[in-house]
Amino acid sequence: EKGGFKHFMLKEIYEQPKTITDTISGFFSDLNNPVYNEIKNIQNIVIIACGTSYHAGLVGKFWIEKFVKIPTIVDYASEFRYRDFPVNEKTLIIAISQSGETADTRFSAIDARKKSAKVLSIVNVVGSSLSRESDFVIYTYCGPEIGVAATKTFTAQLITLLLFSLKAGLERGNLTQEEFEKYYNDIIHLPHLVNEVLKQDKAIEEISYKYHNVKDFLFLGRGLNYPIALEGALKLKEISYIHAEGYPAGEMKHGPIALIDENLPVVCIVPKDSLYEKMISNIQEVKARKGIVISVSDSQDSHLLSLSDNIIKIPSVENENLYPIVSVIPLQLLTYHIATILGKDVDQPRNLAKTVTVE
C-alpha cells in the first residue's frame, strides 16, 4: 500500500502534484460556498491551528492581507483558547486542521462561535468533528495521510488558502475577474513545478549525507517564506530528533546569530522574489561567521553561488505568491533523508500522535 515507496512519508511527498491538482479542482467545484457571501460582512479574521497547520495559517495571513484586505491575526489554538480575544459577528475564524479532530482547534472554534463569530474550517477529513462544528467548510483533497509528519496536506492547505484569498478578494471587489483568472493560470502550473522539485531528490539526498550527524540546524526565510523556515525546522525535529530552529531571517541578528559557527548548517530559503536582496545580506552575515549555507533557490547569481556551500534548485515561478508551495518540497525531502539515514522511523516518530485529541 506504500505504492513501491519505502515509507508513507515519501509516498505522500511524491503524491503532491496529484493532491495539489485535486485540491484545485475541488476548490473550483465549490465556488458557491456560502462563505463568499459572508466575507462581505467580515471586519477581522483570526486564523487558529496547531503545528504544521499553524504554519499554513502564517502563510495564509500574507495572502489574506494582500487580496482580501481584512486585518488578520494567526494564533496557536492552544493559546487562543485561553485568551480574551474580542470577537463578534463580524469576525471570521479560520480553523485549519488536517484531521479536523485536534482538540484545541475544535474547542477554540466552538467557543468563538458561542461568542457569535463565524467559523470557516479548512479540513482534509470529510465529516470530521471540526467540519461539523463550523459555519463553513472548505476541504483539501489529499485522501488519507498516514505518515505522522504532515506533508501533502500542508501544500493542499496552502493552495486552499491562496485560492480562498483570491476568491474572497474578488467578492470584495479588490480583484477583477481578469486578475483572478491570471492568478489561476499561474496556479495550475504548480503540479508541474512541484514535479520539477521532486527531480532534485537525489541531489537533496546527497546533501543529507553530508549533514545528518550535526546537532543543530537553523532555517531562515523572509516574508511568505518565513513560515516555510518554521515548517522545515518542525519537520526536522519531528522525524530526525535533531534540534532545529526556524527564524524570520531579519530576526537573526537579534539573537540566533550567536549560535552560528562552522558546525551549524543554515538552510536559507532564498527565492528570486522581492525580498531576495534582503536574504542575500542575511546569508552574508551567516557566511561571515563561518556557518554552512544550504540555499534553496531559483537564482543563478554568482554572488549567491559563492556564498552557498550547497544549492538546492527550485524552479522560478511567474508569481512570487507561489514560492512557498514550491520551496517547502525540498525541505520535506531533506528532512526525510536525514531521518532515514539516521535510521529513524519516519512514519511513526517517537512520542508523537497523528491526531492530538487531548488538550
| Residues tagged active-site | 354
Q: What is the closest distance, in whole angstroms, from the C-beta atom of residue 189 to ligand F6R in the complex?
A: 26
Please select the residue that binds ligand F6R; options are 72, 102, 208, 335, rule is CB under 6 A: 102
Please select the residue that binds ligand F6R; options are 150, 190, 236, 322, rule is CB under 6 A: 150
Q: Strands of the chain (E only): list them.
A: 44-49, 72-76, 91-97, 118-123, 136-139, 216-221, 243-248, 265-269, 292-297, 310-313
Question: Contact 105/95 with Cβ under 8 angstroms?
Answer: yes
Please select the residue that binds ligand F6R; options are 53, 200, 335, 340, rule is CB under 6 A: 53
Q: What is the closest distance, in whole angstroms, from the C-beta atom of residue 9 to ligand F6R in the complex?
A: 10
Residue 50 or 266: which CB sits closer to ligand F6R?
Answer: 50
Q: What is the closest distance, in whole angstroms, from the C-beta atom of residue 286 to ligand F6R in the complex?
A: 26
Q: Which range, of 27-35, 47-55, 78-86, 160-168, touches ligand F6R by CB under 6 A?
A: 47-55
Residue 108 or 208: which CB sits closer to ligand F6R?
Answer: 108
Total chain residues near ligand F6R (CB under 6 A): 14
3-state secondary structure of 242: coil
Q: Which range, of 21-29, 46-54, 64-72, 331-339, touches ligand F6R by CB under 6 A?
A: 46-54
Per rule CB under 6 A, is residue 187 in the interface with ligand F6R?
no
Residue 91 or 131: which CB sits closer to ligand F6R?
Answer: 131
**Cα 65 to the chain's mean position, in Å?**
17
Residue 108 or 299: which CB sits closer to ligand F6R?
Answer: 108
In sequence order, which residues have a C-beta less than 8 Å from that of residue 321 and are 6 or more positions away? 63, 66, 162, 183, 224
Please select the residue that binds ligand F6R; options are 23, 91, 98, 332, rule is CB under 6 A: 98
Sign of CA dihedral 93, 96, 97, 100: positive
Strands of the sheet with 44-49, listed across from one edge:
72-76, 44-49, 91-97, 118-123, 136-139
Please select the residue that binds ligand F6R; options are 19, 52, 91, 131, rule is CB under 6 A: 52
Per rule CB under 6 A, is residue 355 in the interface with ligand F6R?
yes
Helix (H) or strand (E) holding 330: helix 323-341
Burial of 177 (0-12, 13-18, 19+ CB in 10 A): exposed
Per rule CB under 6 A, is residue 51 in the interface with ligand F6R?
yes
**Cα 134 to the chain's mean position, in Å?**
23
Question: Contact 315/196 with Cβ under 8 angstroms?
Answer: yes
Q: What is the closest distance, in whole angstroms, from the C-beta atom of residue 210 to ligand F6R in the complex?
A: 24
Residue 185 or 357: which CB sits closer to ligand F6R?
Answer: 357
Tell how strand 292-297 and strand 265-269 pair up.
Answer: parallel
Q: Which residues bind ligand F6R (CB under 6 A)?
A: 50-53, 97-99, 102, 105, 149-150, 238, 355-356
